[in-house]
Amino acid sequence: MVVLITGGAGYIGSQLIRDLSVTPGFEDRTIRVLDSMLRERYVSIMDLPREGRFEFLEGDIRNEGDLKKAFVDVDMVVDLAGITNAPLSFERKELTFDVNVNGGRKVVEHAVRADVEKYVYSSTASVYGPTKGVVDEEYSCKPISPYGESKLQGEKACLDASKLHGLDATVLRLGTVFGYSIGMRFDTVVDRFTYLACIGMPLTVWESAQNEKRPYLHVQDSVNALIYSLTKSGMKGQIFNVIGENASMNRITSVITREVPAARVIITPTPNLNQVSYELDGSKIERHGFKPNHTLEEGVKEIVDKFRVLLRRKASSDTVKAVASVPISDG
């Protein structure tokens, strides 16, 4: 029997495939990774646990031939594939919808044909858009980015397949992920700011964004939630928020400066066009039986430990300018 992980070489997937291989009940299952390697994270499939049974296919979820190969003997699917950077999705709108919507629908269609036992779709808190107060899964989503809209349409494909074809599909709306995995990405705010602090660059925070909150989730908790959803019943056709903490920028920078005392925080009056404040209620999945248990402090410390040797170095002003210009995602 085969568990297919689309996007399995990514930030979350690189840790998921390792943990899944040693999860009780999965020892004899083949873990098959399908990834386009768009970000060239080849390190993600190096030094995999010897106990695991792994297969890797370099392919695209939009390609019927690639999916046909990927779905041979598959009985479980975790769909992590997709374009995930919200700010850049405005520049790459067509690609974002092609991969996340068209590609996502193809994965669902193949899962229905294969009559898989379980299907878990990794969505995002970015589907919500602006909110008032703390909102749950019943909130009427109004995403403001092509990324958020594309993931909302991806959710619909899963839930429609569950209603029409009986697919045992679960949708997890993950908070913005942070913390260390071998398939690291540094375009999300906690990871990016921690990296900048470690190499001596300032942390620039928009004045209007200091107290605005967003939902965050440690990468290990995201992996644990995906495995939980694969192994537990009573989640069919449902959406679950998965968040560790609704945190403000002040909260994030305070955690980073405690770990890196020399870090400089600069408050600027320049408006942040990507900043939307929203808080999510994660109690639904907690009532079901899963509770995130990794903190913001843990995630920051993990990344600082990886860069510890660089803490005393100073970056040139040219490097500061180049790195600070990278768009920060909320995906």
Residue 13 in tokens: 């997937």
Q: How far apart are CA 277 and CA 50, in angstroms?
A: 44
Q: Which of 119, 128, 139, 147 is catalytic?
A: 147
Q: Which positions ≥6 away from 261 have C-beta within 8 Å? A: none
Q: Phi/psi class of residue 139: alpha, beta or left (left: φ > 0; alpha: ψ in -120 to 50)?
A: beta
Tokens of 27: 């020892």
Q: What is the DSSP letter of 309?
A: G
Alpha-carbon radius of gyration of the chain = 19
Tokens of 300: 């920051």
For residue 239, what is the enclosing H or E element? Answer: strand 238-242
Is 228 annotated as catalytic? no
Torsion angle of C-alpha atoms 299, 303, 308, 311, degrees rounded to 10: -100
CB-CB neighbours of 69 under 10 Å: 13
∠ CA 169-175-178, nearest 5°, is: 120
Residues known to be catalytic: 147
